[in-house]
Amino acid sequence: AQSVTQLDSQVPVFEEAPVELRCNYSSSVSVYLFWYVQYPNQGLQLLLKYLSGSTLVKGINGFEAEFNKSQTSFHLRKPSVHISDTAEYFCAVSEWNAGNMLTFGGGTRLMVKP
């Protein structure tokens, strides 16, 4: 069965600093990987996805993530954060043969301080 672990429940960072949000997954088969963002009182929005091909994936708002199969990780990065990036970020995994099972991690709250 697939599972996702987001190692940090909260990440405080100053504006314009770089940030990395960590995500590790567990699966015995090939996977699709996703990062979603949730702003206060809103639903989840897709930031980026890895389906196949290049392991470095670029998303919206300057975010990118790198798929590392050997380490079963899909960490999210941004070189310089803004106050507006303050939100909850969710990593999610879907196994190729698991139909429509999308499993979410527990979320990481990114808090950008001025």
- Cα–Cα distance measured from residue 10 to residue 110, given in angstroms and rounded to the nearest whole number: 6
Q: Count interface residues toward other proteins (CB under 8 A).
A: 21
Q: Could you say whether residue 108 binds other proteins (CB under 8 A)? A: no
Q: Considering only residues 41 through 80, tell me which ones interact with other proteins, judged by CB under 8 A.
A: 41-46, 49, 51
Q: Which of 24, 73, 94, 108 binds other proteins (CB under 8 A)?
A: 94
CB 75 within 8 A of CB 55: no
Maximum Cα–Cα distance across the chain: 44
Q: Could you say whether residue 90 binds other proteins (CB under 8 A)? A: yes
Distance of CA 37 to the CA centre of its chain: 8
Q: Could you say whether residue 107 binds other proteins (CB under 8 A)? A: yes
Phi, psi (rounded to 5 degrees) for 113: -105, 145
- Specify which residues 25 forms β-bridges with: 4
CB of 14 to other proteins, least distance (A): 26
* Chain residues that interact with other proteins, rule: CB under 8 A: 32, 34, 36, 41-46, 49, 51, 90, 94, 99-102, 104-107
